[in-house]
Amino acid sequence: MTNEHSDNPPVVKPNEFLLTLELSQMALDSANVGIWVLDALSMKFLPSNRSKILFGFSPQDEISFDDALLKITEKYRRRVLIAVEKAIKLHSNLYIECPIIIPEEKVHRWLSITGGFAASDTTSNYFSGIVADITEQKQNDLRRSKFIGIVSHELKTPLTTLKAYVQMLNSWAQKQKDNFTLGALSKVEKQVKKMLNMINSLLNLSGAEAGKMHLTRQTFSLNELINEVIEETLFVTATHEILFSTSENILINADRDKVEQVLVNLLSNAAKYSNTGTPIEITVELSENKVTVGIRDLGMGIHASEIEKLFLPHYRVEREETEKIKGFGIGLYLCSEIIVRHEGKIWVESVIGGGSIFKFILPLN
């Protein structure tokens, strides 16, 4: 007599298991996706045949983690290494996109690399994940970015002229003591500044994705720049109190306009993602030959799983609370590109419901 309620698991025949494994591999291959395992202690790298092919090797090749790393373009190599080391150290997830050097291919092949530890085993040393070819998606992004760059450049010229006329009219209205006209021109100027900031962001996005973001370095006072950005932010978005106080005047050698853009983006985000009236705090810490800037808000916070993708282009946090907040998902990506070009570092610390603090480090020289 058979026991229909037996706790024994169903027996899987060897040939059924092999068939399931073969079908899983066929599904991965058809999606052009490879799998890999990395021993976090020995750094022994075990890629599938498809992973080897995606990295530009043949299935017969024996490759190490360093071999795969050397296939990544020099600009992204250190980023990938730091991201992997951080994920292993914190036992967190990994998500990064990077271009691969394939000599026989005319353009770089772009890969997305995702990984993590088994959630059920906190003692495991095996870090595993998948690698996928996203070259077509990146090429589409580049074409779109180039188009945006051309259109933005054409829009910037008439807007700059409009801004100059507004300033001239503003001076005339002040002499005439025409308060109504002064108020109207103030609102026009505010909208012109908003549009110019958006256009500058789109132009920088176009340059960053094409690898053509150039730095024009000069020595300037970081304190003065922060105070200017605070004044500008309060002019455009007067919904929060912004706290900043420092006694030491800090001089840095960097691209002033681009550092300004980082500050504008981070302050704008802090205002957008926190309740009206809550304070935003800016801190500056000087140590050795570098300066650390922090921008803290008391907003909704960011999930740990979202932080991994936060600095990727066109990524936006999709939640019920963020549905009505407008944005292109390019601000933080541009901030990251600008800071990395300055050989600095940018990151975020956040607690759900407890706010976020975005920090970046810049070398003084």
Query: Averaged in consecutive runs of 10 residues, what is the pLDDT profile of the chain (365 residues)?
Result: 47 48 56 84 89 92 93 89 87 87 83 82 78 86 72 74 86 87 83 76 64 80 91 76 82 90 89 85 90 91 80 66 56 86 90 89 88
38 forms bridges with which residues in the sheet? Answer: 45, 127
- Please report the sign of the dihedral spanned by the C-alpha atoms of residue 5, residue 6, residue 10, residue 11: negative
Closest CA to 350 of 305, 316, 315, 314: 305
pTM value is: 0.56
Crossing angle of helices 222-236 and 256-272, in 10° steps, is 40
Q: Which residue has the tokens 């009505």?
A: 324
For the chain, list the domains and their CATH numbers.
14-133 (3.30.450.20), 136-213 (1.10.287), 214-365 (3.30.565.10)
Identify the pLDDT of residue 318: 59
Q: In the chain, which ranges are E strands?
A: 33-39, 45-47, 94-100, 109-116, 126-133, 217-221, 242-244, 251-255, 280-287, 290-297, 345-351, 355-363
Alpha carbons 23 and 21: distance in angstroms, whole number? 5
347 forms bridges with which residues in the sheet? Answer: 359
State whether residue 133 is helix, strand or coil. strand
Crossing angle of helices 256-272 and 179-209, in 10° steps, is 110
For the chain, count helices (H), then strands (E): 10, 12
Identify the pLDDT of residue 5: 47
CA 223 to chain centroid, in Å, comes to 25
CA 240 to chain centroid, in Å, comes to 25
Alpha carbons 360 and 289: distance in angstroms, whole number? 14
Identify the pLDDT of residue 2: 46
**Distance set, CA 291 to CA 200, 210, 288, 330, 365 (Å):** 25, 29, 8, 25, 10
Identify the pLDDT of residue 332: 86
DSSP notation for 251-278: EEEEEHHHHHHHHHHHHHHHHHTS-TT-
Cβ count near 343 (within 10 Å) = 10
Identify the pLDDT of residue 220: 93
Closest CA to 316 of 332, 340, 339, 297: 332
